[in-house]
Amino acid sequence: MTNPLVSVLILTYNQEDTIARAIESVLAQQGDVSYEIIIGDDASTDNTRRVCQEYVSRYPEIIRLMPAAPNKGLVDNYFDCLDAARGKYIADCAGDDHWCDDFKLCKMTCMLEENPDASVVYSDAILRWPDGREQFTSETGLHPYCDSTTERVEGNDMLVAVLNSSRALPYILSTALYRKEPVKEILRRSPEIVRNRRFGIEDLPVMAALASQGAALHYAVPTLIYEQQDESVSNSASPVKLVNFYSRSLECTRRLAEYYNISQERLKDSFDSKARYIAGLAFNSGDTTAISLVRETLSCWSLSIPFTARLNIAFFSIAPLRRLLATVKRLLRR
């Protein structure tokens, strides 16, 4: 197969127990759509790569495994796979998630073919927790464009929604099928605005690039089982990790807003919300590294947060007061 219509990117790291399920969910696709699967194993230390190699040997005409390399991190792993993609359209799936609609590629491809002014088709997802609980993303109140009444979102509206998101993006990128060319065009013109290690994320820059180039279409069938882990990059028990993640997300949003000429006033609620959140995280954690990171972030971007939050951070920057607060907290926990 030399010219597949769709390239499916599967990114994985240490997911030997779930990677086969992810691959099988793509191989289960029905309909007359040619596709390839590109697997980016980011230097797993378990048997993930061996499982992937077994699938390559079974489906050599469909599956390609990226060459072994030292750990790259999420951003470089994603965009290296994208660079290797030969398809006109791109879809992706994490190694611990899986697709749940066998006609996803067939239906979404038809929608993009019939709507040349659209850059992406997305869908609802099913959130699944370790205890077996499930919930549609459209039921969380965080993804209003995933409700059943939405059919189409114009590009500028989606761009503002992407950049103005404070708790969750308008849709999960792994539910989507998108045109490769709009993203490649931005990458050629301004690579650092899409592929940027400092951002630490790939979905927000890709979704912004797509929104800047066309409308978004809603496919009204859930296509993804999105596994909710006890601890992930954005749901970590470490305050430093959390503050670092959201600080980088904040920087990404600011840089993208400047690039796409979206005024900061239109995004003020998002910026203020994120700033308050990371300030609260740092103060409540009592971690001096987290406090320093927040002070640096707020200073760098001239962000405003409520006076009480600034007072808390200033208070915690004074060592004797910090020790006093720690003592009080220990006494209250008794």
What integer pLDDT is reported at residue 4 of this predicted model? 98
What mean pLDDT value characterizes the chain?
89
pLDDT score recorded for residue 274: 77
Q: Which is higher by pLDDT, 286 or 20? A: 20
Shared-domain flag, residues 155 and 282: no
Residues 205 and 261 in one domain: no
Number of domains in the chain: 2
Instruction: Indicate whether 91 and 162 sit together in one domain.
Output: yes
Tell whether 23 is covered by a domain: yes
Give yes or no for residue 173 having a pLDDT over 70: yes
Please state the rounded mean pLDDT for residues 8-14: 99
Say yes or no: 61 and 208 in one domain. Answer: yes
Q: Check residue 38 and give its pLDDT.
A: 99
Q: Is the pLDDT of residue 13 over 80?
A: yes
pTM score, whole prediction: 0.88
Q: Both 118 and 83 in a single domain? A: yes
> Is 291 found in the same domain as 193?
no
Q: Where does a domain end: 169, 200, 227? A: 227
Is the same domain home to 146 and 273?
Answer: no
Same domain, 16 and 104: yes
Strand 134-136 relative to strand 35-41, pairing: unpaired
**74 shares a domain with 33:** yes
Q: What is the pLDDT of residues 232-263, one digit of tens each?
A: 555 556 777 888 888 888 889 989 999 999 98
Shared domain check, 79 and 45? yes
Contacts of 312 (CB under 8 A, 6+ apart): 279, 283
Lowest mean pLDDT among 16-30, 191-205, 247-261, 287-301: 287-301
Bridge partners of 41? 12
pLDDT value of position 321? 57
- Does residue 147 sit in the same domain as residue 253? no
- Indicate if 204 and 319 belong to the same structural domain: no
Domain that holds residue 319: 239-333
pLDDT tens track for 55-113: 999 999 999 999 999 999 999 999 999 999 999 999 999 999 999 999 999 999 999 99
